[in-house]
Each structure stands twice: as structure tokens, then as C-alpha cells.
Amino acid sequence: MTVHLKQDEPDNSNRLDGMKQGVLGKPLPRIEGLAKVTGTAPYAAEYPIDRCVEGVLVTSTITRGEVTSIDRSSVLSMPGVVAVVDDKKMSTRAAQGTANEAPMQGPAQVCYWGQPIALVVAETFEQARDAAKQLKVEYREEEGAPLDPNAVEPEEQEDETVHQGNLAHAMAEAEHSVDVSYTTKGHASAAMEPHAAIAEWDGDKLTVHASLQMLNYNITELADALDMEEENIRLISRFVGGGFGSKLGISEEVVAAALAAKQVGRPVRVVQSRQQVFQTVMRRSETTQRLRLAADAKGKLTGFGHEALVSNLPGETFAEPVLQSSHFMYGGENRELMLKVARIHRMTAGSVRAPGEAVGMPALEGAMDVLAEKAGIDPVELRLRNIPERDPEEDLPFSSHKLAECLKQGAEAFGWDSGPRQPRQRREGEWWIGTGMASAARVHNISEAKARVTLKADSTALVETDMTDIGTGTYTILAQIAGEMLGLDPGQVLVELGDTRHPRGPGSGGSWGAASIGSAVYIACKAIREELAAKLGTSEERLDLREGKTTGGEALTDLLEGKDLVREGHYQPGDIEDDYTASGFGAFFAEVRVNHYTGETRVDRMLGAFGFGRVLNAKTARSQCIGGITWSIGVALTEALEFDPRDGHLVNCDLAEYHVPVHRDVPDLEVLLVEERDGAASPIQAKGIGELGMCGGAAAIANAIYNACGARLYDYPMTPDRVL
């Protein structure tokens, strides 16, 4: 039996807080943690499958044009080689990023350097790799593909455009005004587990083990790519070694493995090399952003302008949503926002770690620091003065809004000095020391979700959904929600994820996972509780279950009388989405040291205070925040995709050359979880947390660099050559 809930009203009943078990919210360690760290959790490529052969992708060495011939005979006689697959279904650029619905391009058409064009299959990986290198491919190259986003006429994304009042006038009249331009470089998702798939056919039934974030969506993509019915496909992704956006959609290895397995009549495994993951899966667009802020004598904004230029391939629908939180972050009645996309032939741009705010907020919050300095107002105070009562563009209420609390509690915990600020005040030896802060914001996304919950006759429970756990803690929080609702220890709840045989979850992405699937599990459990309450002649609200018993001492096993209770929860966001602006908010504080001679920046300490609705597990939530702050150090100081200006190929395509922060770059980070319930955001009053921790943090570091050494920088990452 399925129980549907379409949320049209906020639920402020605080029912979950009234439950007495105290399981939800607890800092439980991840229940799959032991399996992961002892190597017994299988990742996509690690399933032992009989007669499996290995496929290696061959990628384009031209930027734009077409493949005129692939000479299979050049490799078919090499040792172990089984087949060369160049089916035109293979090149599924539609896979890259949820927003991307570009028409499928056959392998004959090449539109970026590194685009997969064929797959070589052999008995061993080494044989396949060797043959893939030897495969003779001929192209007809179209010269002159545009590669520089600043050298083409960009397209305006009209649905992002806001013209409200008269910003130019507000700027001219302002007591204090700021007009600054920032750049950010492209980013790679840089998940540890490379993209991988094993495909196996049984007649017309296809099973694929793959590393994916959104099985509910990926199964549709794969069915489309292969022209199959979804019922004939099973996708399995039980453990995922990070996604960060790059596994929201299927990539070529999934389709290639499926096609090859059909062609050779054996299971086929395809694992992208680290270089291929970097060069073919997707990138975050670089950005150029202009910020205009007009303020009165008290620093209150009267005008707000944010314009951004991003890039993508011709025909792609995804545009890095740089302005996403700028629409509602601060007031200012005169507004000018615009997003433009340059069409260039670098690999596909798509969703990478907090698409939009990850790069938009660092620019906005850098500009706010410039304004604070000009107006002589403490940066924390400046933000407090500019928190809008309602969404300044949509004129909607916020579902809940904890920015002020985050700013105040964060400042207090960090020991923020709200006295007058001037750069170059503290020096220790060759190091300048300074502090900086920034606000955080990330829109709240939520998605339809289904989950089945079984309360078994032996008073254990089973939760089943095709939701994924990409390292975020989904297994654990679902055990906690079911445990809390059903009066069970979370250890009594078995959670089965990552298999399309289960009800469709929301997938992991855009920080919507926990609130969406958590709500589906909540709805299913509530229906089970109603059934139990009816047996006891009471109401669900009054039912108090703890440690497998009612408070009256009746054991669940007796109540169940040998029968399982099964309910499927179906959550849909509903009309409530149109009634509120919903976002997570937060504040970052950083102390950095900058070397006087080398320009090297080290982050000494960083604190983030975040409000994102109900905390489902204080430990996994904190870990998400720590991960986010770590990525913000990457945005601030190290991460940058470098493209060859001649052919647009990505030059730094591994973790040695593309610098994500490592332990030495990350000090002890402090995280404050600010108490919040958001009954409009989801039935469980939770919002997203996965990405909030990186949305603006880079500006706290940039602002601290300025405070330390007086170098006001407008280009991220702030590498030593720029700081000097």
C-alpha cells in the first residue's frame, strides 16, 4: 500500500521533536563505515563477474569536426582484443548534468577534445588499453572552433534576467558604491572513485553496476540512449566513491559497456582513467562576474547588481547558475541581474559541487567586504543590516531564515573582533596574519521520492529505495528516521539503497537527498504507526514506541502477530514551492597567514555556522559541513582547470596537477549547527546541507588575505603569484 503526500502546507507540528526515543539527530557513525574502510563495500568496478571482458574508451584528438574512419583492423589482431565498438549511441552527451537535454551526437560528430568516440574490448585491461592507444582513427577537422569564452558573443539566459528600478541611478546617488569584477576558474568534481560500469545481459534484460548519483533518473537516460524499456534495465549503485555532480547523469562508460556487452555476448567492464574522468565527464564553467552595490550612509543596500558570464558547448542547456542566491540574499530595491553563456568547444559544462553559489557567493561576498571597508562598517554588521524581510524580487516570505543567528553565533564562537579593521596589522616573522568573514547561502532543493518500509514480525525493519549514498550518510539517517518513528534501535533497521528494483528515490544531488528521501521514509513509517495505533485503539499522535515496545509495555512482536507491515511512502513537494523562498544560510570566519616573501596563503583556522533546518544526524551533518568548507579552501586557493588555448584540451587532468586541498591545507575546522526547523521545506523540517558549507567560504579566505597583507584580489584561486 502506498501513502502519498503532496506538501501544500508547512508542517510546523514538531511531531518528530515530540517523539521520545532520541534516535533522530544523534551523532551516529555511518552504519556502512566499517565496510568501507575495511574494503568490503564493493564499488562499481569491483563486482567479480564471470567471463567479464574489459573495455577502454578511445577519445577524440581533435576539437571539432567528424570521425571519417575507424580502422578496426588496426587492433583486432592484437593479443586479447575482442571487439571495437563505435555504435553512434555511445556518445551520450545527454548524460552530462541533469539540466542537459542536448540532442545526442553520434560519434561521427566531435565537438570537444577528449570526447569518447569508440570502445576497445579485450580479455585484459592492459590489452584493451594498449589497443585503444593503437586504434587508427581519421578525422575531418573543422578549424577555428571558438575556445575562449571572452572572444565570442554570448547568449543571454533570459529567465535569469532581472531589471528592477534603476540601478545606474542608485549607484550615482549612493553614499557608498562598489563596482568590481571577479573571475573564477573552472573546477573538476574530482571524486575519488572514477566513473565505471559493468554491464551484463540476460536475453533482453540488462544489469549494470555503475557509479551514479541518481538511479531514478539514470535508468531513464540509459533506456533512452539504448532505445529500451526501463523495465528491462536494472541499475545497481550501492556504494559510490563521491559524485560531486559528475555522476548526476550517466556518462559514456555506462552506455559503452552496455552496447559492448551486447555486441560481444559477454559482460563488459569499462573504467575511465583518471585523465578521462577529468577530460571527458564534465567541468564547472569558469566565470566572469561584475558586482555593483549601492548603499546609503548606514550601509543599507539601495541597489544590487550581479552579472555573470559562463560557458558551455553549443546546444547544451546547462548554464552555471551563478546568480542563484543573489536573487534573494540581500535587499536593494534597484536590481540588475543577468547571466550570459558563451558557446565554446571545451568539454561539457555541468553541475559540480554546489553549482551556482559555489562561485557566485565568493564574488558577492568579496564585494560586500569592499563595501564594508568603504562604509567603515564591520563586515558582520553590514550583512546584518542587509538581511531582507522578504525575497526582494519575488516578494515571498522565506520559509525560515537563520542568517542573522549564524552571523552572531559564528562571530561569537570565532572570537570575531568587531573593532575598526585595517590591513597589515599583525605580523609574525615573515607571515602577515588576518581575518575575514562571509555569508553562506544555498537554495533549498527538494524532489519527489518513494521508499518502502517493512516493519517485520520480529520487530526489525527494512527500508528500501533506489536512493544512493554517495558518502553523505544516507544509509545512517534513514535508519535513524525509521528507528525514531518505529521505536527501534537504528541497528534493527536494515537500509537497502542503490538498486532500481526498489521504489524510486530522489537520487543524491543539489543537497535535496536527505530531506526528500527522509520525508518518504517518514511518510511510510507514519502509515505503519497508524496501523499499530489502530490495533491499540489509540491515535498515531499518541502512540509512543521505544525500544521495540509501547509505553504500556506491549512488545511490537506481539502487536504484529507474526505478520509484516509494509507501507510505501510517496513524497511530492507540491504547491508549497511557489509560496516561499527556501534556502540554507550560514556564515564563515577565517584566519589566514600570508607569506610576505612567497605570497603563499595558509588557512590557520576556519569556522562555519550553518542553519539548514532539522539536523538528522549531528555527525554526518557536521562532516558535510567540513567537506564543504574544505572545498571552499580549494575554490579560494588551489582549484583551477587549465585549458590549452590551441585546442581547448584540459591540461591538468589528474589529482597531481589539479590541486584539491589536502590535509596539510586544511586546519582544524569548527562547525556550529544552528538550531532550526523548517516545516515548509519538507515534512521532516529539514533542508539541504551537502553543499551549503562551500557556498561563500572562499570569500572569507579572500577577505582574510586582504586583511592580512593588503592585497585585494578579484581572481580566484588566489595562488601565490597573484597574492604577491
Shortest Cβ 153–ligand MOS spacing (Å):
28
Burial 384-402 (b: 16+ CB within 10 A, else e): bbbbbeebbbeeeebbbbb
Outline where 537-664 has alpha helix (H): 556-560, 618-633
Contacting residue, 21, 63, 213, 516, with ligand MOS by CB under 6 A: 213
Relative to beta strand 2-6, strand 565-572 is parallel
Q: Tell me how many residues contact ligand MOS (CB under 6 A).
A: 11
- 483: contact with ligand MOS by CB under 6 A: no
- Backbone torsions φ then ψ of 151, nearest 5 degrees: -110, 10
Contact 174, 294 (CB under 8 A): yes
Shortest Cβ 354–ligand MOS spacing (Å):
6
Q: Measured on CA atoms in the order 99, 103, 108, 111, is the torsion positive or negative?
A: negative
Instruction: Return the number of the residue (355 or 434) whose C-beta is nearest ligand MOS.
Output: 355
Contact 702, 636 (CB under 8 A): yes
Contacting residue, 96, 127, 351, 460, with ligand MOS by CB under 6 A: 351
- Backbone torsions φ then ψ of 359, nearest 5 degrees: -115, -25
Sort 201 into a burial class: Cβ within 10 Å, 0-12 / 13-18 / 19+. Answer: middle
- Backbone torsions φ then ψ of 529, nearest 5 degrees: -65, -35
Shortest Cβ 352–ligand MOS spacing (Å):
5
Q: How far apart are CA 543 and CA 528, in angstroms?
A: 11
- 191: contact with ligand MOS by CB under 6 A: no
Helix axes 513-536, 474-486, angle to 10 degrees: 20
Outline where 376-473 has alpha helix (H): 379-385, 403-414
- 353: contact with ligand MOS by CB under 6 A: yes
- Backbone torsions φ then ψ of 142, nearest 5 degrees: -95, 115
Q: Binding pattern to ligand MOS, positions 609-648, x when CB under 6 A?
A: ----------------------------------------
Contacting residue, 355, 379, 518, 611, with ligand MOS by CB under 6 A: 355
Shortest Cβ 610–ligand MOS spacing (Å):
17
**Binders of ligand MOS among 247-266, rule CB under 6 A?**
248
Instruction: Specify which residues 83 forms β-bridges with.
Output: 121
Instruction: Specify which residues 310 forms β-bridges with.
Output: 341
Q: Which amino acid is at 60?
A: S
Shortest Cβ 693–ligand MOS spacing (Å):
13
Q: Kindly indicate which of the ranges 345-353, 453-461, 487-495, 692-700 contains the residues binding ligand MOS, using the contact rule CB under 6 A.
A: 345-353
Please choose, from the candidates 646, 571, 634, 579, the residue with its C-alpha nearest in 3D space to the C-alpha of residue 601.
Answer: 634
Instruction: Return the number of the residue (101 or 575) whose C-beta is nearest ligand MOS.
Output: 101
Q: Kindly indicate which of the ranges 346-354, 386-394, 407-415, 548-556 contains the residues binding ligand MOS, using the contact rule CB under 6 A.
A: 346-354
Shortest Cβ 665–ligand MOS spacing (Å):
22
**Binders of ligand MOS among 494-553, rule CB under 6 A?**
509-510
- 321: contact with ligand MOS by CB under 6 A: no
- 146: contact with ligand MOS by CB under 6 A: no
At residue 336, the 3 state secondary structure works out as: strand
What residue ranges in 43-106 does DSSP mark as E strands?
53-59, 65-71, 81-85
Nearest position to ligand MOS, beta carbon: 245
Query: CA–CA distance from 325 to each of 320, 453, 559, 695 (Å)?
Result: 12, 36, 50, 10
Give catalytic residue positions.
Answer: 691
Q: Kindly indicate which of the ranges 242-250, 336-344, 513-521, 634-642 contains the residues binding ligand MOS, using the contact rule CB under 6 A.
A: 242-250
Q: How far apart are CA 633 and CA 624, in angstroms?
A: 14
- 683: contact with ligand MOS by CB under 6 A: no
Q: Kindly indicate which of the ranges 21-29, 118-126, 352-360, 674-682 contains the residues binding ligand MOS, using the contact rule CB under 6 A.
A: 352-360
For residue 379, cis peptide bond before it (omega within 30 degrees of 0): no
Contacting residue, 146, 149, 186, 243, with ligand MOS by CB under 6 A: 243
Shortest Cβ 248–ligand MOS spacing (Å):
5
- 215: contact with ligand MOS by CB under 6 A: no
Contacting residue, 206, 215, 257, 352, with ligand MOS by CB under 6 A: 352
Shortest Cβ 357–ligand MOS spacing (Å):
11
- 689: contact with ligand MOS by CB under 6 A: no
Instruction: Return the number of the residue (70 or 633) whose C-beta is nearest ligand MOS.
Output: 633
At residue 92, the 3 state secondary structure works out as: coil
Q: How far apart are CA 615 and CA 461, in angstroms?
A: 22
Q: Kindly indicate which of the ranges 84-92, 347-355, 428-436, 531-539 contains the residues binding ligand MOS, using the contact rule CB under 6 A.
A: 347-355
Chain residues that interact with ligand MOS, rule: CB under 6 A: 213, 243-245, 248, 351-353, 355, 509-510
